[in-house]
Structures are given as C-alpha cells and as structure tokens.
Structure 1
Amino acid sequence: MIARLAGTLVEVAADHAVVDVAGVGYLVQASGRTLDSLGGVGSEVLLLTELQVREDGWTLFAFGSTGERETFRLLTSVQGVGGRVALAILSVLTPEELAGAVSRGDKAMVGRANGVGPKLAQRIVNELAGKIGSHPLAGVAGAAPPRGGAAKDALSALANLGFKPAEASSAVAAAVEDLGPDASLDSLVRLALRKAAK
C-alpha cells in the first residue's frame, strides 16, 4: 500500500500530476483543488495517497490533506461513485462544504460536480448522512477551530485527555456556539466532553 509520496513535481495536467520519488515517476490523479496547490514544476511536494487496484489497472489518487483523503474514501463507499467522480466532487466542494451539503440534504450542491446527476447526488446525500459530518477528519461545516481564552485552554484540556486535534476542535467549537464566547473554562470542557462523546 502506498500511503504517501514525497518528491519533486515533474508534470502537472488538468487531472493528474507526476511526482519523481528517487528517480521513479508516480502518476497520481488528484482534485483540481489539490493540483492548484502544488506549485510549479520542480517544487518539492508531499502528497497523501490512496491506491485503487482493479482488474483493468492500478490507479494512485493523491490528496493535499487528511480530510480530503478521508472524504474521498467515504465518497467511494457510495455505490456508483468511482475515484474520478469523487475527485470531481472534491474539485468543486471542500470536505467541509460537502459535509454541510449532506447535513442539509442539499443534493443540488453535490450535483454541481461533473458526472454527478440528480439521482447520484441524492444517493450520496442519503448514504453519507450521519457519516460525513460526524467524521472527525472530514471536518464540520462552519466550525472554525476555536482560538484564544477559555476555548484555547479547553482545546488543550481535551488534547491532554487523548482526543485527536480535529475531534477536540469540533467539540470545543460546538460548545462555544452553545455557551457563547464568554463561557468559563469549566463549563466549556464539560460541554465539549459531552459533544465529543456523541
């Protein structure tokens, strides 16, 4: 299993890139968003990857973030969504935007991607409901990481209790939203723990 590539970018096209790793060129399929973030040919890049093996060949997909890769995995678990369709969706929607669309049942937003018709968009919304928004790495739509004061201390407290950064951030953001920015550290931590346990 190839989990990541670190090397020199030697080619970028509309839907793929080639990364030279110790003299071996790996062709990776990627979303437009990831390809746009790579920089120019000759740049040093680090990409997370997902290898799909099928009867007709092997395809290596590349991602700029853990959240994008996890969302890709969720998308390709939906019947009728292959790797290329999942990348098309991730080219027009960030993982957070997709999570928001799924939580609102907004199939029209999902259907903006090339190759996604109304029926497939509805299936994606139905099958990912309850999965993508609660997935710690996919992010929560609109939940920016809390900053400063009690929120920062609450984040640190949850991290010390063993929560992953994304889980802690989402839980504390939800607690701040419920209690307001002036909430005490004690009340924030208690509510964030309840949110994280759901």
Structure 2
Amino acid sequence: MIGKLKGTIEEIGEDYALVDVHGVCYVAYCSARTLSKLGSAGEACILFIETYVREDQIRLFGFTTVLEREWFNLLQTVQGIGAKVALALLSTLTPAELANAIALQDRSAVSRAPGVGPKVAMRIVTELKNKAPAFAGEAINIGLKQELGEGVASAPVADAVSALTNLGYSRDQAANAVAAAMKSAGDGADSAKLIRLGLKELSR
C-alpha cells in the first residue's frame, strides 16, 4: 500500500500529477487545488496518497496534506459521494471552508462544487455535522457555528450574525466576527455590543 510519494514532477495533467520516484513514474489523481500547489515539471514534490485497489485497477489519489486526505475519505462516507465528487468538493472548498459550511449547515456553499446538487449537499451537511474534523482555521468557533446552523444559538448571537449578514458579509464571515467578539465581550453581551465588536473585527 502506498501512503506517500516523494519525488519529482514529471507532468501535470488536467486531473492528475505524474511523479517520478527514482525512475518509476506514478499517476496520482488530485483536486484542482492540489495541482495548483505542486508547481511545474522538474520540481520536487511530496504527495500523501490514498490507494484504491479494485479487481481491474489500482488508482492513487494525491494530497498536499494529511488533513485533505482525511476529508477525501470522510466525504465518501456520505451516500452518493465517490472519489470524483470528493475531489470536486476539495477543488472548490478548502478543508476549513468545508468544516465551516457543515457547521453552519450551509448547503449553498457545498453545492458550488460540480456534481453536487441540493439533495447531495443536504446529505453532506446533515450526515457529517458530528463527524467533521474539528478544524476550521484560526480563531474560529466551530461550536458557535453548529449552534447557528441548528438554530439554537442565543438571541443576541443570532441577531448579531443576522445583522452583519444583512450588511453584506457572508454568513461565515459574520459568524467568525461574532465568535471573536464574544471572546472580548464576555458572556451576557447584548446584540448591539456584539455587532459593534464584530464590525471592528471585520474592518481589520
């Protein structure tokens, strides 16, 4: 079983990278995001590999981080999601953005990926909300986002997020700002204070 490739890029295709490891070239299928980070032919590269063995073929899927590989496998636990759609999702959204979308139950963000319709997006945010890795970037409160997504956040928090969203910020940006505001405002802050501090965060 191949878990990692360390070699030189021989060729970058539309959906794959050909990696030369001591004279042996491996074809690794990758997301568009991964391919964009690899560089060009002749450059050194490292890919974390997920190996699929079938009766008629062996296929390698390559990722620049272990976390991306974990998401690739996690996405495929959802009914209707195969390797192709999982790569499309990882081409469209970073692992952090996927975690945010699932926490916020944001089906529209997930359905931006090619091949992901409303029904599949619904299954992804529903089935993975308790399984998604607890990673969404720095200074982001996943617990708060899950409360917002499930409609159980406190009234001041929900009102502050709604107000910032009405000002043109995305729901994710608004939730991040309010989460940061809560850290400085403390418990019991009203919506007006959270909005004011949230706007301060967004202006940085």
With the length of structure 1 as denominator, give the TM-score of the two structures.
Answer: 0.69
Q: Distance in 1 between matches of 2:79 and 2:138?
A: 28
Asked if 1 retains the 8 angstrom alpha-carbon contact of 2:52 and 2:58, the reply is yes
Question: Displacement of 1:54 after TM fit?
Answer: 2.5
3-state SS in 2 of match to 1:105: coil
Matched, 1:140 2:136: yes
Kindly provide the amino acid, as one letter, of the partner of residue 57 in structure 1.
Q
Tell me how far apart the structure 2 counterparts of residues 65 and 127 of structure 1 sit (CA, whole Å): 24
Q: Is contact 1:80–1:120 with CA below 8 Å preserved after alignment?
A: yes
More divergent stretch after superposition (49-58 vs 117-126) = 49-58
Q: Which residue of 1 aligns with 2:38?
A: 38
> How many residue pairs were aligned?
147
Q: 8 Å contact 2:139–2:180 — kept in the other structure?
A: no
With over 3 angstroms needed to count, the CA separation of the structure-2 counterparts of 1:56 and 1:180, relative to structure 1, is farther
Cα contact 1:100–1:141 (8 A) shared by 2: no
3-state SS of paired residue (2:131): coil
Counterpart CA distance in 1 for 2:116 and 2:107 is 10
The Cα of 1:131 is off from its aligned counterpart by: 1.2
Question: How far apart in 1 are the matches of 2:32 and 2:59?
Answer: 17
Cα deviation for residue 130 of structure 1 reads 1.4
Aligned Cα root-mean-square deviation (Å):
2.0
Provide the residue aligned with 1:18 in structure 2: 18
Structure 1 spans left out of the alignment, 5+ residues: 145-174, 182-198
Q: Extract unaligned runs of 5+ from structure 2.
A: 141-178, 186-204
User: In structure 2, what is the equivalent of residue 84 of structure 1?
Assistant: 84
CA contact (8 A) 1:92 1:113 kept: yes
SS of the residue 1:99 aligns to? helix
Q: Note the C-alpha offset of 1:176.
A: 8.1
Give TM-score, length-normalised by structure 2: 0.67
Q: After TM superposition, give the deviation of residue 57 of structure 1 in Å.
A: 1.9
The whole-number CA distance in structure 2 between the counterparts of 1:65 and 1:14 is: 20
Distance 1:12 1:177 in 2: 44
The aligned amino acid for 2:110 is V
CA distance in 2, matches of 1:12, 1:93: 21
* Partner SS for 1:88: helix
